[in-house]
Amino acid sequence: MNLLSVLPLALVMIAGPQIISAIFLASSRDAKRSSLAFLVGAGLAVLVALTVWYVVFHTVRAAGNGQHKNDGERHLIDWVVLLVLLALMAMIFSRRKRTQPPKWMSRLQEAKPRFALGLGVLLFLAMPSDEATMLAVAASLAGHGKPWWHLLPFLCLTLLLLALPLLALLAFGQRAAAALPKIRNWANDHSWWVSEAVILIFVAIVVSDLLK
C-alpha cells in the first residue's frame, strides 16, 4: 500500500453534494469569495479528520511488538479498511436514485462566504461517505507505516478537484458559467458509479495486500 494507491479515492470524496455545492457556489453572486471560503472550510475539515484517523490507526499499529505482531496489526487494519470500503459501496449504491439535489442547495446562489465556509466544514465532517473514505485512506497509510505527511497529497488532490468549477470560471468566464449547470446535472446523475468504480479498484488493492 502506498500513496498512489489512495489518491484515486479523492474522487469519492468530492462526488455528490460536495462537487455540486462547489458548482452552485461558482455560479453564485459572490462566486470567488464564497468558493474560496468553501475550499478553506473543506480543507480544514479533511485535514482534521484525516489526522485524527491517522493517529488512531498509527496507535493501533504501534501497539504491536516484533515483526510478526506488526504484520498481524497491519492485516487487522486492512480488514477494517476492507469492511469500511464494502459498507461505503453499499451506502453509495443505496443512494444512486437520488437524482434531485436537496432544496437547500438552491440557496447557494445567494451564499455569503461565512455560510460557504461552514458548509465546507459540515459537508466533509458530517457526511458518512466522506468519513468512511477518510478512515480508509488514513488507516491504509498508517497501517502500512507511512508517515503522516503522505496524507497531504490526498488532501491537496481533493481540494484541487473541488476547486475545478471555480478554476473553470476564472479561466473561461461566461462560457464556463453556461456549462456549469450541465456539468452539475451530469455529476448529480452519474457520480455514484464513478465512486463505485474507484472504490472497487481500491478494494482489489486491499484484498491483494491481504493475500500476501
DSSP letter at 204 equals H
* Torsion angles phi and psi, residue 173, rounded to 5: 60, -125
pLDDT > 70 fraction of the chain, expressed in percent and rounded: 92
Q: How far apart are CA 153 and CA 8, in angstroms?
A: 11
Using a 10 angstrom Cβ sphere, with 0-12 exposed, 13-18 middle and 19 or more buried, the burial of residue 208 is: exposed
Domain that holds residue 194: 3-210
Residue 135: predicted pLDDT: 95
User: Cell 432544496 maps to which residue?
Assistant: 103
Report how far residue 122's alpha carbon sits from residue 115's, in angstroms, rounded to the nearest whole number: 10
pTM: 0.86
* pLDDT tens-place values along the chain, 212 residues long: 677 889 999 999 998 889 888 988 988 888 899 999 999 999 999 999 999 999 999 998 887 655 555 567 778 888 999 999 999 999 888 877 765 666 667 677 778 889 999 999 999 998 888 999 999 999 999 988 899 999 999 999 999 999 999 999 888 877 777 777 777 777 777 777 888 888 898 899 888 888 77
CA–CA dist 171, 188 (Å, integer): 23
The number of distinct structural domains making up the chain is 1
Q: Report the largest interatomic distance among the alpha carbons of the chain, rounded to a whole angstrom.
A: 61
Within 95-112, residue ranges assigned H as helices are: none
Cα-Cα-Cα-Cα torsion 113, 114, 119, 124, nearest 10 degrees, comes to 100
Grid coordinates representing 123? Answer: 459537508
Distance from C-alpha of 81 to C-alpha of 78, rounded to nearest angstrom: 5
b/e per residue, 106-131, with b = 16+ CB within 10 A?
eebeebebebbbebbbebbbebebbb
Structure confidence by residue, pLDDT tens digits, 17-39: 898 889 889 888 888 999 999 99
Contact status, residue 88 vs residue 199, Cβ threshold 8 Å: yes
